[in-house]
Structure 1
Amino acid sequence: AISDYMDLAVLGDYYTNGSFGLRLENTYAKRYRFRGNLAFRYENLITSERGFPDYARNTIYNLRWSHSQDSKANPSSRFSASVNLGSSTYYRNSINQINAGSNYLTNTLSSSVSYSKTFEGEPQVNYSLTATHSQNTNTQTINMTLPTFQGSVGRMYPFASKSGSKKGIIQNINLQYNVRGENRIATVDSLFFKKEMFDDARAGFQHTIPISTNFKVFKHFSVSAGANYNEVWTFKTIDKRFNTVLGEEEVETINGFDAYRTYNFSTSIGTTVYGMFNFEKEGKDTKLKAIRHVMRPSISYNINPAFDKYYNTYEEEVITADGLTTRDVEFSRFEDAIFGAPNKNFSSSMGISLA
């Protein structure tokens, strides 16, 4: 043991053709705080003899890490890890079968490392950071989020006093704030941990602010109204054009900050109706005296505006029965953004319900 809190085992394999392997295994724990284990395995594999046509040299590795925090350590923050990553061919090519074991048929490696923190108060603030990894050992494709950030600010009543009940449309106005940021990476095994793996990375942030209020009208009717504001940031957009020489669409990636903003509205009005149906009759004693019933009718209306200002068009040449002609092709520069493109069609709806 290295100390009272951790141990370390170093193991190795060596083969007469020059192949070798190294294994590091570590377990650690601190009472009422955390515990975990770490294992790293590396092999340098040599096939055949130098000078022969089938001579090959290959390196494979695998990293496993598990970490958990004791629930008593810190109620306002949490850290956990479950990692299994490495060479896609590790479990199939490892010379030491102890390393492969029951994992020989494994075709997916996945990892997740997360940290979350809560700040108590009015309003409550939360945030979390998560890194994930998913690896297909058959296709050798790797998808990662490095990292995902989420934050939120609890419900606030900016026009109401901190004590007493809230009355009226103004005092009941409340809002929240949510943010989500992602950096997504799609790569292959041969580029893992190399700078090229970041070439096609996509990053963005989405900010959401829901605002709502409620109040009474004509004493018996409850009205609620709300709006949602959404703002998306991205660091890559696209531009499309038609190449008349090649006769095909060209897509250009534009690096740089860009953003779009959307919003929608909703409102509803409802009431509660109470009634009583009596079964009692004069001179008769019935077991069923009365039935009390409650009805809650409501009407709602929603509006989703169109945001076609974020859309462009280009002319595409097409061959028809009448010969060569052109047509307009519509696109949004945010099509490939992490959180998609804004809605370009206006819609509204009305609903009637009785509960």
Structure 2
Amino acid sequence: MTIASPAQHAPVVVIAPDSFKGSLSAEEVAAAIGAGIQAALPAAQIRLCPIADGGEGTLDALMHAGGQRLTIDCRNAAGQAVRAPVGILKDGSAVVESAAIVGLTDDAGTAVPVEQRSTLGVGDAIRSLLDQGARRFLVALGGSSTNDGGAGLLAGLGMVFLDAAGEVVPPLPAQLHRVVRVDTSGLDARVAEAAFVAMSDVDNPLCGAEGATAVFGPQKGVTPPQVEQLDRSLAHFAQVLERALGRSAAERPGAGAAGGLGYALLMLGAQFRSGAETVADHIGLDDALAGADWLITGEGRSDAQTLHGKAPFIASQRARRAGVPTTLLSGGIDRASLGKLQQSFSGCFSITFGPLPLQDAIAQAPGLLRDSGEQLARLWLAAAKG
């Protein structure tokens, strides 16, 4: 794309980064980059479009486009009473971010072993929003600490799991092997009136070598000896649940998202969608790219996995369709992945200017982003003059 002379044209810059998880929200990242751009190009028109891919920060990204933010009572992964944020968008869609309820970064929720954690709180959140009239739900699945096949979610919505003696089985990974019958009579009737979109960037099935436990369990605390046992428990639970509901979903792409929370939503009739694509639609990224000269996107760290449906990749694909060049500006860039990354991005840059301890980089992230944005803009200006 030919860059017009600054004298003839003030550039339109779209800034659409993901969050720097554990450090800055996507909105804060976008604002810092934007400040740097305008330090070098005061006349630039900046369009901030913070984005996410279904993990931590998805609620914030969606709420940037407007809506009502609420705080509701629910349970964390350990079953403790907590208050968690949810949202209702301007179109009436309710947003539930799993990471904000049963997230991997919640110290209290992860104080118990993974086999004792549940997604009950996600069911609490949906029920609370049903009480407020919501009937369309966007459920962000990334960043969960759970591996319960979504049993907690279903129990939170009224399903009851029973053992051979007719005793209630808690919806915990360590107990799912005991389930022999599912009582669906108590399922909240309003669920049948609701439409669910499960948002994630993974397409794993529920069980097996590519399933929830084998692939994502270790990062949640599943030990090697537990993998086969918990995987078998999920497979058993799915067999009983599918017999009770008369449908199947264990092998469907995305069933393994969020430790099987994706599976439970699919069993409730959810549509499974790319988190980044869904967010991009709701925040109007395509509209923001119309007539733009430049897109800047990024994330905490970029590597080859970025190209598998992560937010910066989705943003770059949409920019390419609009004829807009894209720069990747991330906290860190995997040098070994540059060859692959540069096929989707016009340039790939890290915000660090030299060796820096991680904690210092996190603390200095706003300034580093601002300085990097300014230097990129000066490069743009030099190219335009040339």
State whether TM-score is above 0.5: no
TM-score (norm 2): 0.23
Query: Which protein shows a greater Rg?
Result: 1
Q: Which has more strand, going by share of residues?
A: 1
